Structure 1
Amino acid sequence: MKSSLRFFLLMFILASNVVFSASISVISTGSYSYTQQGDELIGGQKASITWNIIIKDSSNAVVTISSWHAPFTCEGSYTISNEKDYTALSWSGKNNEDSECDIPSPQILLKKSSSGRILIHSELFPWNNKGWQTVREIR
């Protein structure tokens, strides 16, 4: 009886550990890009912003932002933390002394979908910051 109880307890611990580790969404090093199209301008073109995210290693990232007639903030160095369901990128004030960011941390969230695509969510997105959007991998 004791051996079957120990076996059950061991299997439960192992299964719990596997389920927990499988749910952690770790984003691989590499380059990712996301573009939002915004309001139509007088000439018929649309304003846009592109976020280019370079995951340098497990704890550091760099975000560069390019814009066509749209304001942006929070460009620069980010620290990475891996949460249970997503990877959080937080703007690093000490490493970005010449720029500013008025959005609270974490500014950018990344996660893998069940199909393996990388998804992004951020309060930085001015036109559609609801839900998760697909990023483009630039490897």
Structure 2
Amino acid sequence: MSGFKKFLFRGNLVDLAVAFVVGAAFAGLVKDFANSFINPLIALIGGKPDYTRLAVTIDGTKFPYGIFVTSAVTFAITAVIVYFLVVLPTSKLIERMDRGKEATERECPQCLSDIPVKALRCRFCTSEVTPAAEMPR
């Protein structure tokens, strides 16, 4: 039983649970934003993207491919919203915050693994590396 308790209260499991809850809330936020602003804007320009009635019947069996097409359009709209309103601004903010920071790691010239800047030997392939002060720029 103690192993199970240890498993439940490990940091990464709690982090995953929190990320799941925040992600679900964020998904609702993006969906509502798309329904409130983006979809009406698209409907204003070119009509509402609703293809759910599209279907093809083959040998008496109906294939409602319009449901998939509508979901694909919604997915594309959502992906564009998330990229331009979340990913891009966040990347720019992180880039600005990291400008003044000094590098703490560098690449090993032999195995291309990240090693500390002051390392004299790679911890992965054990090859000797040039000290950081002597590295050409």
More strand by share: 1
Question: What is the TM-score of this pair, normalised by structure 2?
Answer: 0.28
User: Which structure has more RCO (C-alpha within 8 Å, separation ≥ 6)?
Assistant: 1
Which of 1 and 2 has greater Rg? 2
Q: Considering fraction of residues, name the structure with more helix.
A: 2
